[in-house]
Amino acid sequence: MTSNEFFKRIETQYQNNLPFVVYRKPNETSVFAMLQKDDKLHFTSNFTEKGFVFSPFENINESVIIPTEVSEYLESETDFPDLNVVENSIDSSNTSEENHHIKLVEKSVKAIKNGAFKKVVVSRAEAIKLDEPNPLLIFKRLVHKYKSAFAYCWFHPKVGLWLGATPETLMKIEGANFSIMALAGTQEYKRVSKVVWQDKEKEEQQFVTDFIVEQLKPWVSTYKISDVETVKAGNLLHLKTMINARLKPEIPLKNIIESIHPTPAVCGLPKAETKTFILENENYNREFYTGFLGELNFETIAKPRSGRRNIENRAYAIPKKSTQLYVNLRCMQIQNNNAIVYVGGGITETSVPENEWQETVFKSKVIKNVLS
């Protein structure tokens, strides 16, 4: 399907007020869309369903799904033009937002020093006025600007309109192969060849890796942890570790998700205490920010390599279930003529409140750079 036809179909779906998702996976050149045929609100009950899942931060039992069986699946190429790229990002945050966030960071540091927990991720929401928001135009900009991110636009008339370009994979599962990313620690990308990380960032990222490995142990037979590396995500750099594992047979996906989500990259350590702190102290509802989204139980068939011998193998190609979930970061919700941008950061004992505020300002630019 040409990209023109592809986006026309999505445009019509949106005008008809019907649910859809359009997305581009990291470093890929294809775009996919799922268009739901009715406007029913479906939830996953146990993560065995097939479709595109959209889960909130707080309660995975409220995960919305666009089920494959009631949707049309479209595919195209990212050959559409990179229109109206915004050069100067909007600056809309104000002093009262800054004061509030700094106070929240100070309270977090105090709680850590008092031994309540080791790390917590605190966040804020910032509203930006837009003239006539065009979600598909914003999606196209996200696709072109953030090639290594998972870029998406998700809409349900009974839930809302969300867009984002996240650098973080929550988990990928294909058959028994499992992989997960521990991403944390942030600094601004300054085009220098030698990047230096402070102990604060190294520690906050290590917390994420250690948590994931501990939580995974009951579900996997073997696992391997990669070295820590620096990755670029738009105007930012992060620290990343990959954990690859083999799942034990017959492990319910819901058990794995429940034990991992939300990771200390978006919540804290220990999980329960920091989740309560976040819910009690952030003065807004995160909704789907720091939740997760992506393909749930899709079917993939390993493509046989070309050659005569493989013609026989084709008959034996076994379809595998594939799940690819991403953490909903660097995202926004569009409500009427406002974009609500969500940003947060990991706080540890040595966090400097002013620097933590600045980090959320850098992160908000990822979204502000595609708005006009």
Min dist. Cβ of residue 281 to ligand ISC (A): 15
Q: Does 133 bind ligand ISC (CB under 6 A)?
A: no
Q: Are 206 and 152 in contact (CB under 8 A)?
A: no
Q: Which of residues 113-132 bind ligand ISC (CB under 6 A)?
A: 121, 123
Min dist. Cβ of residue 208 to ligand ISC (A): 7
Q: Closer CB to ligand ISC, residue 201 or residue 295?
A: 201
Q: Which of residues 9-68 bind ligand ISC (CB under 6 A)?
A: none
Residues forming beta bridges with residue 76, ordered by sequence position? 31
Give the pair of three-digit tokens for residue 186: 């942030």
Question: Which of these segments, 43-51, 253-261, 276-284, 339-347, binds ligand ISC (CB under 6 A)?
Answer: 339-347
Total interface residues for ligand ISC by CB under 6 A = 17
Q: Does 164 bind ligand ISC (CB under 6 A)?
A: no
- With CB under 6 A as the contact rule, the residue among 19, 234, 268, 344 that binds ligand ISC is 344
Q: Closer CB to ligand ISC, residue 53 or residue 182?
A: 182
Q: Closer CB to ligand ISC, residue 188 or residue 214?
A: 188
Q: Closer CB to ligand ISC, residue 21 or residue 265?
A: 265
Q: Does 368 bind ligand ISC (CB under 6 A)?
A: no
The vertex-370 CA angle with 295 and 93, nearest 5°, equals 110
What is d(CA 273, CA 118) in angstroms, rounded to the nearest whole number?
10
Min dist. Cβ of residue 129 to ligand ISC (A): 21
Min dist. Cβ of residue 357 to ligand ISC (A): 12
Q: Are 248 and 221 in contact (CB under 8 A)?
A: yes
First to last CA, the chain: 29
- Give Cβ neighbours of residue 99 (< 8 Å, ≥ 6 apart): none
CB-based burial of residue 147 (10 Å sphere; 0-12 exposed, 13-18 middle, 19+ buried)?
Answer: middle
Question: Which of these segments, 75-83, 135-143, 184-192, 217-225, binds ligand ISC (CB under 6 A)?
Answer: 184-192
What is d(CA 90, CA 82) in angstroms, rounded to the nearest whole number?
19
Nearest to 323 by CA among 217, 202, 177: 177
Rounded to the nearest 5°, which phi and psi values hold at 269?
A: -140, 120
- With CB under 6 A as the contact rule, the residue among 185, 234, 262, 268 that binds ligand ISC is 185
DSSP string, 108-132: HHHHHHTTS-SEEEEEEEEEEE-SS
Instruction: List interacting residues with ligand ISC (CB under 6 A).
Output: 121, 123, 168, 183-186, 238, 265-266, 329-330, 343-346, 363
